[in-house]
């Protein structure tokens, strides 16, 4: 492994351009960015128990129960 310095200006985000997928695969997104963000935020608001389990680490027992032999 060779460690290298970050690129000048170190990119903090990448914008997605789906035009090639649209042109070559006739694919169209089902959500706009705004509607997708709105639905994502609403999902987290509607699933507070899941969020709390992830934040507390309580999900680890579920992972162990369901994936323990594979880990």
Residue 17 in any domain: the answer is no
Residue 65 in any domain: the answer is yes
Identify the domain containing residue 66 by its residue range.
32-71
CB 18 within 8 A of CB 29: yes
Residue 15 in any domain: the answer is no
Residues 6+ apart with CB under 8 A from 28: 22
Residue 25, both tokens: 């695969």
Residue 12 in any domain: the answer is no
Chain segment 35-68, per-residue pLDDT in tens: 999 999 999 999 999 899 889 988 888 888 888 8
Residue 40 in any domain: the answer is yes
Chain segment 25-38, per-residue pLDDT in tens: 999 999 999 999 99
Residue 45 in any domain: the answer is yes
Domain count, the chain: 1
């Amino acid at each position: 492994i060779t460690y290298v310095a970050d690129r000048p200006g170190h990119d903090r985000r990448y914008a997605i351009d789906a035009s090639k997928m649209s042109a070559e695969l006739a694919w169209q997104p089902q959500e706009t960015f705004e509607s997708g963000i709105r639905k994502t935020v609403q999902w987290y608001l509607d699933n507070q128990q899941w969020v709390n389990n992830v934040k507390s680490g309580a999900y680890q027992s579920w992972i162990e129960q369901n994936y323990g032999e594979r880990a």
